Amino acid sequence: MFFAKLMGVRGWYISFSDGRTELAPQLSIVQFKRLLLFCLGLFCLSARAESKEVTIGMGNFAPYYIAEGETGIFTDIIAAVFHELPDYEPVFVFGRPNNRLWQDFSRRKVDAVSNLFDSVEVGGCRSDPVFRFRDVAITHVETELSLQKIEDLKGLNIIAFQGAKEFFGPEFSSIAQESIFSVASEPGVQAQALWDGRVDVSVGDLFIFLNSLKKISGNDASASMFKIHDILPVVYSRMGFWDDRLCAEFNRALQKIKDNGEYEKIYDRYLRLLGVEANLGS
């Protein structure tokens, strides 16, 4: 084995392990640059080959998961965390509804799972809270409704997602009983119902609502036509891992992207993509 070093204009000296030193043929600047690029390429390929692949179960609802281009809010968060973990290479497995996600993880069909709620009973190591849902009440600006707390929903015509009563707990469930309450078969129904004026308020995730709004026929609806009321509790879900060491490393890297601002930038970027330039409060 030997190593080489550049000695001014005289060229390369090659030092052998037995102490011999010989002058190597001189390289032109172009040749040297090509050699350098080649060595860098070999280094990058070697580092990538040594990275351990981690299969991750991913969901199927935009804009949190977008299989095309492997993007979406949750996907981008995971990618940002793994960017800080060069020894691991995430391999995303998209298209699973929540129950399928958790089943695949429980059966060890994947190494890790995203969007794991605390109420789900599976083994493995759970990360710190990762994925933040932003559940809100949304009204049409023209109605001039002011909602300061959950109780203010009482008596209104409300549309929400399936399982909302159980998800938000006894207080919301009790209010729903005293209101006109309907359940949407899929997220787009909520946006369309509020746009058409068939309900007073839509209750559910802000990002999912805004994404559905873009698909309304005619594409005349915009986020500025609606008022967002932050009256519901913030909900987080986690990552699940079978590898305890990776779980701990993931937590440290997650905290790093939160501390440097990358985490919030991901959420802000998608708000802008969905037509919200500022935080529209109540």
User: How much is the pTM?
Assistant: 0.79
For residue 90, pLDDT beyond 70: yes
Give the Cα-Cα-Cα angle 265, 137, 229 (nearest 5 degrees). 65
Give the Cα-Cα-Cα angle 7, 9, 12 (nearest 5 degrees). 45
Cβ within 8 Å of residue 167, ≥6 positions away: 161, 235
Sheet with 157-160, strands from edge to edge, namely 180-183, 157-160, 201-205, 135-140, 226-229
For residue 30, pLDDT beyond 70: no
For residue 14, pLDDT beyond 60: no
CA-CA-CA-CA torsion sign (199, 203, 208, 209)? positive
Cβ within 8 Å of residue 87, ≥6 positions away: 50, 51, 52
Task: Transcribe the chain into DSSP letters.
Answer: -EEEEE-GGG-EEEEETTS-EEEPPP--HHHHHHHHHHHHHHHHHHHHHHSEEEEEE----TTT-BTTTTBSHHHHHHHHHHHT-TTEEEEEE----HHHHHHHHHTTSSSEEEEE-TTS---SEE-S--EEE-EEEEEEGGG-----SGGGGTTSEEEE-TTHHHHH-HHHHHHHHTSEEEE-SSHHHHHHHHHHTS-SEEEEEHHHHHHHHTTSTTS---GGGEEEE--S--EEEEEEES-HHHHHHHHHHHHHHHHTTHHHHHHHHHHHHTT--S----
Buried b (16+ CB within 10 A) or exposed e, 137-149: bbbbeeeebebee
The pLDDT value given to residue 21: 55
In this predicted model, what pLDDT tens digit does every residue of 210-266 receive, in sequence order? 999 988 855 678 889 999 999 999 999 999 999 999 999 999 999 999 999 999 999
The pLDDT value given to residue 282: 42
Give the Cα-Cα-Cα angle 186, 215, 145 (nearest 5 degrees). 75
In this predicted model, what pLDDT tens digit does every residue of 147-173 receive, in sequence order? 999 999 999 999 999 989 988 989 999
The pLDDT value given to residue 222: 86
The pLDDT value given to residue 5: 39
113 exposure class (CB count in 10 Å sphere: 0-12, 13-18, 19+): buried
The pLDDT value given to residue 34: 64
From CA 127, how far away is CA 116, in angstroms rounded?
9
For residue 13, pLDDT beyond 90: no
Reading the block at residue 110, the tokens are: 């994947």
From CA 39, how far away is CA 44, in angstroms rounded?
9
Q: Rounded to an integer, what is the distance from CA 142 to the centroid of its chain?
A: 33
For residue 186, pLDDT beyond 80: yes
